[in-house]
Amino acid sequence: MNLRLFLAIEIPEQLKHEIFEKFSKKISSNNAKIVPQKNIHFTLKFLGHLPEEKVQELVESLKEIEKFHEFKVKLEGIGSFGKNVLWIEGKDKKESGKIVEKINQLLSLEQEKAFSLHATIARMKKNGRKEIMELLQKFGKTKLNEKFLVEEIALMKSDLSKEKPEYAKIHSFKLSSSDTFSSNDSGSK
């Protein structure tokens, strides 16, 4: 059986809830397909389909990303890709981009486009340029300003056979501990 795989940064549950409450629940367009709260994440790299028996080989190929240190991501505001995708921006000190470069190197993949750390919250079913512009205007000044510590990169599988995609973590790549993130810096703002 082939698995549909991607690498992601999981967002803590309380922050996914805040994203959903501040943004997703307030999108009332019939043209919008809202990403369920439980599925909100930052995709680092879509890997495509891979036979299940090759997953362990993939995991071994990617072990080197565990040499990267834990890092902070700050959730910011809302943005869009063209006329169809609405997302929440993530800011870091380029760590996520360096991890994506390493993934590409380890798997001999090319970088398709400039990497942008984002979590999709809605997709338009058909051309939604007008709706996207209205939503950007509606949410334009709404900021999250929440930070969280990224301690692992998750290898995820997605099952698209249901009405809404189902995601499941199949492996965690633990990042090296870092002394730069103190316990009193783990909260918001």
pLDDT tens, residue order, the chain (189 aa): 899 999 999 999 999 999 999 999 888 878 888 999 999 999 999 999 999 999 999 999 999 999 999 999 999 889 998 888 999 999 999 999 999 999 999 999 987 778 899 999 998 888 778 888 888 998 888 888 899 999 999 999 999 876 778 899 999 999 998 654 443 444 433
Query: Quick one: tokens of 53?
Result: 């028996």
Query: Quick one: tokens of 166?
Result: 């189902």
CA dist 79 and 81 (Å) reads: 7
Query: Quick one: tokens of 70?
Result: 């834990």
27 within 8 A of 85, measured Cβ to Cβ? no
* 3.30.1280.10, 3.30.70.20, 3.40.50.150, 3.90.1140.10: CATH of 2-178: 3.90.1140.10
Q: Which residue from 6, 1, 3 is spatially nearest to 62, judged by alpha carbons?
A: 6
Q: Where are the domains of the chain?
A: 2-178
Whole-structure pTM value: 0.88
146 within 8 A of 18, measured Cβ to Cβ? yes
